[in-house]
A and B are shown apart, each in its own frame.
Chain A
Amino acid sequence: MEIIDGFVNAINGIIQSSGILHLQWQNFVMIGISIVLMYLAIKKQYEPLLLLPIAFGMLLVNLCPEIMAAQQTTLMTAEECIAAKGSTSGYATTVINGITYYDVPTYGGLLYYLYQGVKLGIYPPLIFLGIGAMTDFGPLIANPKSFILGAAAQIGIFITFIGAVFLGFTDAQAGAIGIIGGADGPTAIFVTSKLAPELLGSIAIAAYSYMALVPIIQPPIMKALTTKKERSVVMEQLRPVSKLEKIMFPVIVTIIIALLLPDAAPLVGMLMLGNLFKESGVVDRICKTAQNELMNIITIFLGVTVGATATGTNFLKPDTIKIIVLGLIAFCFGTAFGVIFGKIMYKATRGKVNPLIGSAGVSAVPMAARVAQKVGQSENPSNYLLMHAMGPNVAGVIGSAVAAGVLLSVIPH
């Protein structure tokens, strides 16, 4: 009889602690959304490297919210402590009003600890280290005017900031929403984790979704703002860039940006360190690690933990819809301003610059540059804009990091 009682109690305890009885309807909706995102990542291959871990993190946290629970300390009297833990030894004590309490810790969930890398702004700069180790800044060095297009595409960030402020978001939240227009996932996560961590899930999902949709969002804007003649411009071949120039570039950029905008230093500094690894050619092992193992490990941690911030109660709010709409506006404005400045350069150079390359200024490396190539080639099949578009594209990465530095230095957090 005692065995059966014990068995019933054990089963009862398992049922009571299971998610089935504790989950709310929002959690089930989020589980559905996570499955849709997994489908998009696997079947449609929309940014699968990040969308898949994000979707799975979302699934995990909505099935088992404790996995993201923070570490806590409970004050217990000696009797309570003995009843709960069996003894009082090993616990620190606190005396309140003459009564001794034992500080009994409850450890946090796995993803809570991994999330500290996001919360403390560690993962995004490490991702930038890997990106730097993979990026060739040659097209930008060969044609430094590309920086103008990289800067122009950041205007969308600040215009969206205005929209978000008027929709009732706080300045910090508006800054975090605006950065979606930079079309740079690590930068968006870095800024949001500092300005508005409560919006991290929605902003990360919006940012990565729009980056995956670059080939769908950008071409209509590019075509609407340019004429057939402008789209058909064949650009001159870029000059060769020497190794010394490539080595000096990361050092110079770091000195300028870290001096002028210290808030952008973690992102730009790591990006340029990775690039120096690559271009110096003397630390091949480190460079390969930054490009592959480190990048992949951080991508897993970043994706899963960012996804884990999207709990039902956090995500299913009218604000999320506003963020998704504002994110799209930011992206469209970024593309549009890039193309408009491309047109200005077209006029200024008397038709030597194809304005389509301006659209690549929104970062999203290398997809935005590929889109410029694709749209240009649809007008003139023998036109190869890819390398020309890579200049504004990598300038956009630096530009969005600078814009992030501006937001972080201007908005109190």
Chain B
Amino acid sequence: MNQNLFNYTLQQADNCLILGQRLGEWCGHGPVLEQDIAMTNIALDLIGQARMLYQYAAEIQDEKRSEDDLAYLRDAWDFKNVLLVEQPNGDFAKTILRQFLFDSFNCPFYEKLKESSDERLAAIAAKSHKETLYHLKWSGDWVLRLGDGTEESHNRIQNALNELWPYSEEITTPSEADIDANKNGFGVNLNDIKSERETKIREVLNEATLTIPDSAYNHTGGKEGKHTEYLGYILADLQFLQRAYPGNEW
């Protein structure tokens, strides 16, 4: 099998699954009904994207693992998602900021992946890109509203920014899978997205009257399977049913 294509597909699938799971935790707990629905809608889109990618990954490898096996039966060190998406929800402001940092990547990423030489990845990207346009608009609007809102909302999202900023850049820092995928024409050149993404982030944060921390430190490791303590707890929740009742279906 093409190990690199497999890893590359899983990397994005894991990002979508884990963030989808995190957003799903808000179900029934959103600050107002409309935003509760917004978060679960976005969660559904992300899990849908994850499914398309897992289905493809399952077809690439020859170990006869299904999409469900990939989602439910791998352990933390096999997951390749970035650390940003596994960070806890915190308050609404932190969830919004995490979402914005992710959407500002996800949207241009799919846009570029549409040109992938791999037909299947290109098709998944074309399908997903339209959805992420709505996501980015939503999270960007909320960063603005909270940042340039009341003193309380401003402080909360500024705190979120201080906390999450060191997790922002990992997503555009190429892993081995990213480099290989780009070299072989089926993956995105992350350098093409990096500056566009940074410009967009700075624009929105400035307009939201937020101060970007000057710390240049970046956490990395997620793409290589080195995760924060949080991922294990997410998986415990997410995988419980399949671990306790193997092969169970709806």
Partners in one complex: no
Name A's B-contacting residues (CB within 8 A).
Answer: none
Interface residue ranges, B against A (CB under 8 Å): none
